[in-house]
Chain A
Amino acid sequence: MDVCTSSSTPQTETFPSAPAPRAPSLWRKRLLEDRVQLPRFWPVIQNLVIQDLRVRYQRSVLGFFWTLLNPLLMMAILSWVFSLLFRGIENYPIYLFAGMVPWGFLSGSVNECALCIIANEALIRKIFVPKLVFPLARILINLVTLLLSMGSLFLLLWPLGARPSLPMILLPAAILLFVAFTLGLSLIVATANTFYRDCGHLVTVFFQAWYFATPIIYRAEDFPAATQWRFRLNPAYYFIELFHDLVYFGKWPQFSSWLLAIVIALASLGIGYAIFKSQEDKMVFRL
């Protein structure tokens, strides 16, 4: 049935045979195609982002304030509860802020991306759009929220001792790496959830557990030195530490932290991209 008539060039027999001659060219073609297609469909991404932001805030009186209120309330509650438990952390609200806002971006993006292909079924089944557009749009929407809430929460925390410091100029780099990391995870989850719809539920639970496993509401140093290595198994730990260093401690992160963050971000992005692209064509049949 699977008849192939695509003009296959007669290959010269070599021994030993050349290792996997086709695979690289396939991936190069996919990358090239994305490089052409994504700029072409940039207006579509733009539109998805703008429209989502507009719809989210157009009929609520407080508008953007709601995005701030949620982390603010969380921080208020946690500050109160944990100031009783961990007396060691000074400026605890700022510590919380430095970890929680980036985490909100990560979990928000991944959870939304899980549904992004299914939610845009109507579009995908009617017109050709590179499917990468949908996760990218979700990430950008969350990125806008991240930047806005970071900026405004920082100002709100001013009375509690939030002060800008010179190392904060590296914050864009940290955010960029974190976005790459998030995008990779989002692509994996988006692919998995399109094929297995129950993944979305698992992801929510998994992120709850991951949240507590990452030093966001507590400090890794508060644990005995013998168990410190466990945190190093957590890929999110390195990014959160970067944010802690830059925002809370106001110190320059170590070079090794940057290197690890870069490696993890690129690995996540690479794996996510590979998984997403290899399944992209089949997605339309599973909607």
Chain B
Amino acid sequence: MPYSSRKKTRWYSDSESHGPGSRNRASSGVPLIELRDVSLRFINYADKQYSFKRAVLDLVLRRESPVPVSEFWALRNINLRINHGERVGIVGGNGAGKSTLLRLLARIYPPSSGTVEVRGNVAPLIEMGAGFNAELSGFDNILYNGAMLGFTRPQMLSKVEGIHEFTGLREFADLPLKYYSSGMYMRLAFAIATEIDPEILIIDEALGVGDAAFQERAKDRIFKLLGRSHAVILVSHDMNSLRQLCTRGLWLRQGQLVADGPIETIIDQYLAWTHAAKAS
């Protein structure tokens, strides 16, 4: 099967528009995120490096389906709308497609079919060290990461104070990032991602790191973001923090969205299902 053509895939983001328009939309009924029938397929080539030699041989010998290919649908037919001010918690077992979904929303993966529309700028906290440079100092990294998230140097310079305020890492600002502990790293990433006031904040298990005091402050900060009607999407295996933070739950299983509803219901369903699976 060939790659699904671009025609089916509409990839749209107007995260560029930081103008007043993007704020005004908060009151209108347009959802921040809209996924229509989105599927994502990974193709495993027998050896990842489908070599030139092989391509030529396939062409010459007219072999169909070049290498033994195994397909894997990481996401299947996801329909989803996320509105302003929603706090969405995603639950599901390992390999259910939670992180893949987040990456899709962060524009790292394109959908194989369907359309993804993301309106507003996205701050992804998906993996440690995304958009950081270990060689640069903490201060330089604030500017660098800001650039990755679409903010100019002057814009970021005005936010540096607030970031230091929140992280309490001011005295380490000149230290290269490689000497930071993972907790410090995480604090910095979280502070930047929230300080830029993103319309959509995506967090993948990041809250697990950091001490208790920091986790409390992080939760505070997420609530503050929500006061400005921004959306937060959270993946976690910590049901307690999901219950605290989220209002809406999504349950993914084998790449499919099996349940969508209030967080309490979804977590209860999910836990019941895991217990049942364990019992059998």
Contacts and interface: CB of A to CB of B under 8 A. Distances in A.
Contacts of B131: 123, 126-127
A22 interface: yes
Interface in A61-120: none
Contact of B110 (A3, A22, A46, A281): A281
Contact of B7 (A22, A51, A122, A199): A22
A34 B147 CA distance: 16
Nearest to B14: A36
A6 B110 contact: no
Interface in A1-20: 1-6
A249 to B, nearest CB: 41
Nearest to A22: B7
B129 A195 contact: no
B113 A198 contact: no
Nearest to A26: B6
A196 B52 contact: yes
B148 A127 contact: yes
Nearest to A280: B110
A128 interface: yes
Contact of A126 (B48, B110, B112, B129): B129
A202 B135 contact: no
B16 interface: yes
A47 interface: yes
Interface in B94-133: 106-110, 112-115, 122, 124, 126-127, 129-131, 133
A198 B51 contact: yes
Contacts of B224: none
B108 A47 contact: no
B50 A1 contact: no
A55 B135 contact: yes
Contact of A128 (B7, B107, B153): B107
A196 B108 contact: no
B36 A5 contact: yes
Contacts of A125: 108, 127
A6 B148 contact: no
Interface string B26-60: 00000000001101001100001111110100000
Nearest to A201: B52
14 contacts: A1-B1, A2-B112, A2-B113, A3-B114, A26-B6, A41-B147, A43-B153, A44-B147, A55-B135, A126-B129, A128-B106, A128-B124, A196-B55, A284-B110
Given A3-B113, A122-B129, 14 more contacts: A2-B112, A3-B114, A6-B10, A26-B6, A37-B16, A40-B150, A41-B148, A43-B144, A44-B144, A46-B147, A123-B131, A124-B108, A126-B127, A127-B126
- 7 residue pairs, one from A and one from B, having the closest CB atoms: A126-B130, A43-B147, A128-B107, A196-B52, A281-B110, A2-B4, A4-B8
Interface of B: 1, 3-4, 6-8, 10-11, 16, 36-37, 39, 42-43, 48-53, 55, 73, 77, 106-110, 112-115, 122, 124, 126-127, 129-131, 133, 135-136, 143-144, 146-148, 150, 152-153
